[in-house]
Amino acid sequence: MPDSRAIVIAVLAIVAGGVLACEPDQGDCEATRVVTSEVPGSPSPAASSVSVLIQNFQFVPNSTTVKVGTTVTWTNMDSAQHTVTRPLEGGVQIAGPDSAVLNHGDTYSYTYDAAGFYPYHCRIHPSLRGMVEVTP
């Protein structure tokens, strides 16, 4: 059965002459008068996950973009040990991944709860670097 929220939005778009809807708090919606919003009590989107491999002394993919709330899981496919570590800022490690030493086949997961750019590296092999960009 179709989601009632989707039906309401579709009907409003048709009534408005096929104009595009705009999101609340994103500028002037005056031209369309069609605004989308969350329905109270509607289920929140399921949390998502992304996998990153550590192989051939590289993070694969080296850079990834995820939404807030996404869990990234790194898997060490190398025979060498590696870590997934957020760099220090002012001598202190701030929010971000900080794994123990990962042996071949080990995994480490970190959930990103705030938007921003999160560089990381391997403490054992400092030239091994990666980046996660987290968007709202």
Instruction: Write the secondary structure of 37-87 as one string of H (helix), E (strand) and C (coil).
Output: CCCCCCCCCCCCEEEEEEECCEEECCEEEEECCCEEEEEECCCCCECCECC
Residue 34: closest CA among 47, 49, 46, 16:
16
pLDDT reported for residue 29:
39
Q: Which domain holds residue 25?
A: 1-39
User: Which residues touch 61 (CB under 8 Å, ≥6 apart)?
Assistant: 52
pLDDT reported for residue 86:
92
pLDDT reported for residue 47:
59
pLDDT reported for residue 19:
37
Residues 63 and 118 in one domain: yes
| Average pLDDT per block of 10 residues along the chain, 136 residues long | 47 39 42 38 62 97 97 98 89 81 98 94 96 96
Residues 35 and 68 in one domain: no
Q: The pTM is what?
A: 0.64
Query: 56 lies in a domain?
Result: yes
Residues 89 and 60 in one domain: yes
Report the C-alpha gap between 54 and 104 in whole angstroms. 9
Q: Which two tokens stand for residue 61?
A: 């993919």
Query: 44 lies in a domain?
Result: no
pLDDT reported for residue 128:
97
* Residue 58 identity: Q
